Structure 1
Amino acid sequence: MKTRVIPFALSVLAAIASPAMAAEVHVAVAANFTAPVQAIAVEFEKDTGNKVVASFGATGQFYAQIKNGAPFEVFLAADDTTPAKLEAEKAIVPGSRFTYATGKLALWSAKAGYVDDKGEVLKKNDFSHLSIANPKTAPYGLAATQVLAKLNLTQAITPKIVEGQNISQAHQFISSGNAELGFVALSQIYKDGKISSGSAWIVPSELHEPIKQDAVILEKGKDNPVAKQFVDYLKGPKAAVVIKSYGYEL
């Protein structure tokens, strides 16, 4: 009489429960906040097991995509007016809007010593190209035009402006040498208390309207618990350390 043998592998598989799959949240992120949110997402996954799937771009472009049905569940804007507009249009989870950071603008050149610490290089106007983000879609681009207007330099410098679609592209124009200098988000060139490369002037906040950056849970995220979990994490102490390290105010 033969003895029936149950394969060992099958018995092991039957005894082990399969681990739960990590959940995700899809987040639209203003380009200036790219590096901070990438760092925060790493910590969020370590602490919760859930993932942040982030897309980066200009706030105005994201607004259009959201209105056209893009599958974003959370929106980290570069201003407070766009999230407020979405709130008025009932396109967000009620009560979810809050300011996650206040941004700072910087005049930056990839060349060491090119930009002085008072921004006098602008008044000298001895350059061929100045890079800014599109002021119609990117709040940091709008802030740049406000600075030029406040300094009475709009007419003199406008012919030299090259526009990026968002603040990342504006930064790229400068880092590649296609523009000698330009206005970027401080967070793009700042880490742990110092300018990371080149030379820069941190623009005084009185020269432009405050860059209050608001976050919201969008309508598409209302039934995803990870959306609220991520927003709560963004308000927490670990995220605050990261946000401050990139030069933002809370």
Structure 2
Amino acid sequence: MKLFNTRLALALVACFAAHGAMADEVQVAVAANFTAPIDAIAKGFEKDTGHKLVASYGATGQLYTQIKNGAPFEVFLSADDTTPAKLEQENEIVAGSRFTYAIGTLALWSPQTGYVDDQGAVLKKNAFTHLSIANPKTAPYGLAATQVLDKLALTDTLKPKIVEGQNITQAYQFVSSGNAELGFVALSQVYKDGKLTSGSAWIVPASMHEPIRQDAVILNKGKDSAAAKALVEYLKGPKAAAVIKSFGYQL
């Protein structure tokens, strides 16, 4: 019996060691608008694959600079499709790995119930002090916000009232903290399971700005990473798709 127990113990140790060897960590650069979805996806990914997802968040332009400066990212989830395409042209990604994981939705939001109407007329009324947007030079959602203001012929009128966040997370924080009465945010920041989580919002029609097509790539540092490949496959699967859609993204 003692010999049997010893063999069983050794077998279990070998099994756990093999599982540990297969499990890996993947370093992921994530556009700030996708913070909540990737946090939710990470739980299922880690449970289903054994791999651990370690995310770093920021504006797409800032993350691009970090990647070019040698940051240890293996996968990049961008807030646009142009930055991953640029990295592809610069031979910074694994060939054939680029794909669209989500199409973003822009929203004009206020934490105050009833403050923002469902047509965005609050912008034309101009009865507010500050309007928050993300930096349009580095954040695709910020660029989309400026395109909406151009479309409404409000750029010059509202320019003195605009406060810029470094990324979409900071743009949201300006509004949620009360430093701005309203602001353009990613719908995913204020939306879950088919409804607003707080306040009032105008979900901006996609026709009012260029599509916010969000692409993902495996970077060269993730070329030989089983965890990086597993994450990309997981993002293309039904479980991740359900999470992504629940935050108001299109697929």
TM-score bin, normalised by smaller chain: over 0.9
- Provide the C-alpha distance between the structure 1 equivalents of 2:206 and 2:235, rounded to a whole number of angstroms: 24
Deviation digits for residues 19-62 of structure 1, max 9, x if unmatched? Answer: 23331100000000001111111000110111100011100000
Could you tell me which amino acid in structure 1 is paired with residue 46 of structure 2?
E
Larger CA Rg, structure 1 vs 2: 1
Q: Distance in 2 between matches of 1:44 and 1:63?
A: 25
Question: How many angstroms does 1:225 deviate by?
Answer: 1.2
Letter in 1 for 2:217: V
Task: State the 1:12 CA deviation.
Answer: 8.9
SS at match of 2:146: helix
2:60–2:83 Cα contact (<8 Å) kept: yes
Q: Offset of 1:80 from its aligned partner?
A: 0.2
Decide which structure has greater helix share.
2
Match of 2:180 in 1: 179
The one-letter code matched in structure 2 to 1:39 is: A
Match of 2:211 in 1: 210
Task: Work out whether residues 141 and 185 of structure 2, in 8 Å CA contact, stay in contact via their aligned partners in 1.
Answer: yes
**Counterpart position of 1:28:** 29
Q: Does 1:17 align with 2:9?
A: no
TM-score scaled by structure 1? 0.94
Could you list the per-position Cα deviations for residues 111-167 of structure 1 after superposition, in whole angstroms to 9, with x for gaps in the alignment?
111000000000001100000000000000000000000000000101101111100
Superposition map of 1:162-177 within 5 A: 162-177=163-178
Q: 1:101 to 1:11 in 2, by over 3 A?
A: closer
Mapping of residues 117-128 of structure 1, within 5 Å: 117-128=118-129
CA distance in 2, matches of 1:106, 1:166: 15
- Match of residue 132 from structure 2: 131
What are the within-5 Å matches in structure 2 for residues 103-114 of structure 1?
Answer: 103-114=104-115
The ranges of structure 1 where at least 4 consecutive aligned residues each deviate by more than 3 angstroms after the TM superposition are 10-16
| Aligned-pair CA distance for 1:17 | 1.3
> Is contact 2:59-2:139 (8 Å) kept?
yes
SS for the counterpart of 1:242 is helix
1:4 aligns with none
What's the offset of the Cα at 1:13?
Answer: 6.8
- Partner of 1:17, secondary structure, is helix
Q: Percent identity?
A: 75
Residue 96 of structure 1 deviates from its aligned partner by 0.2
Distance 1:71 1:59 in 2: 16
TM-score (norm 2): 0.94
Contact 2:24 2:226 (8 Å CA) reproduced: no
Q: CA deviation at 1:15?
A: 6.5
The residue aligned with 1:190 is 191
Corresponding residue number in structure 2 for 1:43: 44
Deviation at 1:240, TM superposition (A): 0.5
Aligned partners of 2:174 and 2:112: how far apart in 1?
13
